[in-house]
Structure 1
């Protein structure tokens, strides 16, 4: 009996052309019990491989019954809830972590990240953008852009307002997943596919892209770009940013280790090790010339910032007189304010 990488039962939205706009999976699984999948093989004819199977109400009903008889009460309860769904129901099975081939597959992988089942870079997302249609995210859910004018008119004629919150490929995470133990001041600034670790606080100007996130705890007042992962106890100050692979970082995977601090309006285009600090207003890119200082403040070498990538206990600063970017050993680790980071 072959193992399955991921599995989920969900419901979603289609447009008039029967194309998927989005899918909601309330309880996705990583490496599900093979017996759970065996029921699927028998009831819906799953033949293996990666597949998104749209189910009839009768098939959902049969799955609920068979899962319950097999002892999968939790899974059966979700199937029961979907039996009378007005939305199309889909059973998505990923036998392998291959490049997604459909919108339901793409949405399952984004859910795996936001449910903390995999960490950023822990799942293949190549080719995901063409599978995520650009839609209007409204107070009535996802709406196809071509159908939006008619939907807006119908709402007005019925004395209502169809509010368009955004037009984007990605929905906000909290419409699909709310991780435990986090604070998010502005939910629109965290995309589905973000990994938000326990104890993370995201302030109003904080932003986390998909396939990026925080180990937690940490305070995020700046931008975590796609592909960037921030370690335990690290803070990103107001207006600070990290360079993602989609915003000029090339193939370099940017990350911050534990106990790091990006000061206000600072930024990094290189990965940082543990206990590193970049002072406020200083943006380090891989090609930035950096003077390396000894313990007495003397210059011992001049290197490019990429040569310091991934090293721990570094303090990056700009010399206020010469304007040179300098680096010295960071003698003080960053201590989080425990009161600010409480989530109970």
Structure 2
């Protein structure tokens, strides 16, 4: 009743007076939120309460930002919330040392700063700010904070080194080491290591709709890449990029050729080693299973 909320997903502007009223109403329910509302009531900035009754596609900028925050606060995991149509709702702005600046106002503010002997520093011009300007999850290391966007899910125990990058609606279960690119939509299981400069194919480029994921205990070597989901304990040799259509020579435990398959047929299978034969250039997949077990696994997967 304080905000006049009726039903559905809404972004409702509210006043400082309403913030005090909400803080008072929440005292006995959630002391932390009550204290936060009391602080917000002191602000001169516009206040907006975003209420989500259902997980529908975002219909406002406030809804879009809220869902990105839910991901980075680890309240939901990637793909757990509907982010359909988020791009048109996010304005392209300059993220600066004084906060977000409308691009139409940027030149004037830069001039004003210089006239005062100051510098207005522009960190990026983008729809997404860096995550750490809004939340730093517990138990993580991020060497270059500009390389983790708001909307990334960074699990406890994760280290993101300087060459690592994590997009929105993507992330890591943790613990893990990220020295490569975790593209939009990709989720990395616990104990996995993405080597320097490696790549995971996202779901945004090329109209792709295959959800790429990395299982637990995987290693993707430096400058390697994947366009298929990896099962647990998979290894991809450094420099080898596997796309869904890559022809792979499947070898059994005796290194005998079982058959040649497309990489997509091996998606999600555990305990695989992908490598390139240095003599003939063929992409090979080595496993500790027998030829019979391999054929059974392939048929079950299909």
Task: Using structure 1 for the length normalisation, give the TM-score.
Answer: 0.83
CA shift in 2, pair 1:184/1:330, >3 Å: farther
Distance (Å, rounded) in 1 between the aligned partners of 2:226 and 2:236: 8
Alignment counterpart, residue 54 of structure 1, candidates 4, 9, 13: 13
Residues 87-102 of structure 1 mapped to structure 2, 5 A cutoff: 87-102=45-60
2:23 equivalent to 1:64: yes
- 1:284-326 Cα shifts (integer Å, max 9, x gaps): 0000000001111111100100010111100000001110000
Q: Which residue of 2 aligns with 1:137?
A: 95
CA distance in 1, matches of 2:288, 2:123: 43
Deviation at 1:248, TM superposition (A): 3.5
Q: Gaps (5+ residues) in structure 2?
A: 290-302
Does residue 1:118 correspond to 2:81, yes or no? no
Of 199, 215, 222, the match for 1:257:
215
CA–CA separation in structure 2 for the residues paired with 1:175 and 1:217: 22
Alignment match, 2:4:
45
Distance 1:145 1:135 in 2: 6
How far does residue 72 in structure 1 lie from its aligned partner after superposition?
Answer: 2.9
Please give the root-mean-square deviation of Cα atoms over the aligned residues, in Å.
1.1
Q: TM-score scaled to structure 2, two decimals?
A: 0.94
Q: Counting helix residues as a fraction of each chain, which structure ranks higher? A: 2
Which of the residues 323, 329, 333 maps onto 2:287? 329
Q: Does residue 1:207 correspond to 2:178, yes or no?
A: no
1:229 Cα offset (Å): 0.2
Q: Is the 8 A contact 1:315 1:330 kept in 2?
A: no
Q: Distance in 2 between matches of 1:248 and 1:256?
A: 20
Offset of 1:67 from its aligned partner?
1.8
Cα offset, 1:151, TM superposition: 0.8
Structure 1 residues 72-91: aligned runs within 5 Å: 72-91=30-49
The answer (yes or no) to whether the contact 2:97–2:122 under 8 Å persists in 1 is yes
1:251-274, CA deviations, whole angstroms, 9 ceiling, x for partnerless residues?
Answer: 100001100000000010000000
Higher relative contact order (CA 8 A, sep 6+): 1
Determine which of 263, 272, 277 is the counterpart of 1:314: 272
Equivalent residues in 2 for 1:22-37, closer than 5 Å: none
Deviation at 1:330, TM superposition (A): 5.9
- Contact 2:253–2:288 under 8 Å retained in 1: no
- Note if contact 2:219-2:235 (Cα within 8 Å) is conserved in structure 1: yes
Matched, 1:289 2:240: no
